[in-house]
Structure 1
Amino acid sequence: MPMSALHAQTICTWNYPPPYDLFNWPSWEQMSLNQTDFGDPELRERQFASIIDTTGDLIGFAQFFPLLGVTRLGLGLRPSLCGTGLGVPFVRVIAEEAQRRAPFDEIDLEVLTWNTRAIHTYEKAGFQITDTYQRNSLHGPAEFHCMVLKAPVIPS
């Protein structure tokens, strides 16, 4: 579902433990003021989605960033759910939605090379490392893998 302002505000309160704390978002006030990422209402509507469970609870979010012939995924699972076995189905649902939105696009994502927990999850969900490079991030230069979805996700 499209990400609501309330869900965006909630995501800004999530706190990941180190070393994943670099994935914490700035305050909602700061994001709204600067109109960055999902703090920009138009961008939030076009690119971001809330992932909710069967009871209506917010469990995560996805970004579907359009590139030429590629949909690049960004995603985040609620910190309290990390390490509970939800990662693979969570990533598969997001990949399935990306395919629905842009059926002819390649689906990829970027992941920091040290984040082995995420890399294993993405591999189990059907992604494969295709490139490794250094680029600037919000926290300075960092090394990333680009991972591409190798097989279409079968809808659940």
Structure 2
Amino acid sequence: MNKSIFQKIAMLSQKNARIIADEWHYDGQYAFYDMKNDQEDYDEIISPKLRKNKYFQILDANNNLVAFFCLDPDKEKREQVEVGLGLAPNLTGRGLGSEFMSVIENYVKNNYDYQVLILAVADFNLRAIKVYQTAGYVQTGTENVHSNGGIYKFNIMSKKI
């Protein structure tokens, strides 16, 4: 059996925040997820003050950055947390999505009291939507979000863990 690429989870370091913000570039329509394309996202990830303790890095066995996620608690529904996530561009489209989601879910289950994970995924990102559906997330609504200089439709998906 192949050993998991997702080995270590820790608070996102400044060095790795810079790598995500400045060096991770996705191909084609997925360039939407380049941090430089959304100033608010870019500013948040590179600033320790704005990032707070919400961002986590996932490293491989050689301490290379392979992914990140952030947890944004719902202020009204305390049992819910919105999850943002990103996989290194060279690892996308390689069938790692289900394992990546399991790693995040297990981390949340083992370290927090949240019972529901919420994802907001761009409507065009059918690849991610398929991963989330396979992992048991269901669409609970949509919202239009100001992002990357425009307004985009996002699917809101959730899962009880």
- Give the TM-score range, shorter chain: 0.7 to 0.9
Mapping of residues 1-156 of structure 1, within 5 Å: 1-12=10-21, 13-26=23-36, 36-68=43-75, 69=78, 70-150=80-160, 152=161
Q: 1:140 to 1:11 in 2, by over 3 A?
A: same
| Number of positions where the alignment pairs a residue of Structure 1 with one of Structure 2 | 147
Q: Percent identity?
A: 30
Two-structure CA RMSD over aligned residues (Å) = 2.2
Which TM-score applies when normalising by structure 2?
Answer: 0.82
Q: Secondary structure at the match of 2:36?
A: coil
Moved over 4 A (4+): none
Q: Secondary structure at the match of 1:37?
A: helix
Structure number with greater CO (CA < 8 Å, separation at least 6) is 2
8 A Cα contact 2:118 2:156, kept in partner: yes
User: In 2, Cα distance between the equivalents of 1:67 and 1:138?
Assistant: 23
Shift of 1:113: 1.2
Shift of 1:127: 1.2
Gaps of 5+ in 2: 1-9
8 A Cα contact 2:72 2:83, kept in partner: yes
8 A Cα contact 1:8 1:38, kept in partner: yes
Which TM-score applies when normalising by structure 1?
Answer: 0.84
8 A Cα contact 2:81 2:114, kept in partner: no
User: In 2, Cα distance between the equivalents of 1:61 and 1:35?
Assistant: 14
Shift of 1:35: 8.2
